[in-house]
Amino acid sequence: MSSVATSSTVMIDGRIVPAERAVISVFDRGFLYGDSVFETLRTYGGVPFALREHLARLQRSAERVFITLPVSPGILGEELLRAVQTQGSPECYVRLSVTRGVGLSLGLDPGLAQRPSRVVIVTALSPLPDRMYAQGIAAITYRADRPGESVGASDAKIGNYLVAVLAMRAAHARGANEALVEDANGRILEGATSNVFAVFGSTLVTAPDTTDILPGITRAHTLRLAQALGIAVELRPLPKAELTAADEVFICSSIRELLPVVRIDERAVGPGVPGPVTQLLLRAFRESTSQL
């Protein structure tokens, strides 16, 4: 049977390896402790979207957790392009991970690991159904602290995604597609694996990147599009009560682009259908990616 573990193109430490034999040691600290950083991105017509930004974020994530990238971001980018070309699909899902590698012993001390591992996985993208963009999705709110928060690395994309995994599980159990994470102060700063925007009248609001969010590449691109379209933007954290009373809400991420949220905790957002500002931005986003 075809699965991601057989149909993907995999590159480990710069070498393409058959997917079914693409293995990392059980002693790798990425496996043992989630001691790793990563990026998820996608291609349009075979071209990775915002590759430079993703590589810059990977480098920053690595610095935050004191992992030295094994090769320069430029070489990582070249390797990633080679893996994308080998895979051959125009629309790909790409994951680039760097782990701290194998330690000399099982101890936690990061100094025990001398050689970080790098892995690129490229797989044909299964796009979300059009219906989700046309009709919007349901989301839940989910109270949690992000794993990076307590160690001052909220803006790093670190390997430990257990909070997001459990938040997504809770969302699916309630028939929803995303969990909007509520912090200790009752604010919704981002989704389990997305950034969150709300629209009040014609003003777009999202949490500033000085709060505990992963500064999304799609979020940054959306803000630039909003500016180009003359849409007023406010960067401020959104209390849950305010978010749920917004006229429009959408989430965004590299894989899902901009996705309207029409229900939160079983209650309609605005009239319960994707709103005009969301649709305008989604159209603009797709136009910009079609020009790659």
Ligand X SMILES: Cc1ncc(COP(=O)(O)O)c(C=O)c1O
CB of 69 to ligand X, least distance (A): 18
> Is the CB of 102 or the CB of 168 nearer to ligand X?
168
Distance, C-alpha 112 to centroid of its chain: 30
| Rounded Cα–Cα distance for residues 140 and 263 (Å) | 8
| Rounded Cα–Cα distance for residues 151 and 160 (Å) | 13
> Is the CB of 113 or the CB of 250 nearer to ligand X?
250
| Rounded Cα–Cα distance for residues 262 and 146 (Å) | 24
> Is the CB of 150 or the CB of 202 nearer to ligand X?
150
CB of 118 to ligand X, least distance (A): 19
CB of 73 to ligand X, least distance (A): 16
CB of 154 to ligand X, least distance (A): 9
Of 78, 114, 109, nearest to 96 by C-alpha is: 78
Binding site for ligand X (CB under 6 A): 40, 190, 193-195, 214, 216-219, 252-254
> Is the CB of 141 or the CB of 195 nearer to ligand X?
195
Residue 22: Cβ-neighbour burial (10 angstroms; 0-12, 13-18, 19+)? middle
Side chain identity at residue 217, one-letter code: I
CB of 193 to ligand X, least distance (A): 4
| 3-state secondary structure at position 49 | coil
What does DSSP assign to residue 34?
A: -
Q: Which of 42, 57, 64, 157 is catalytic?
A: 157
> Is the CB of 102 or the CB of 121 nearer to ligand X?
121
Query: Is 240 a residue of the active site?
Result: no
The number of beta carbons lying within 10 Å of the beta carbon of residue 28 is 21
Report DSSP letters for 160-193, one per residue: --HHHHHHHHHHHHTT-SEEEEE-TTSEEEEETT
| Rounded Cα–Cα distance for residues 278 and 132 (Å) | 13
Of 104, 98, 178, nearest to 142 by C-alpha is: 178
Q: Catalytic site residues?
A: 157
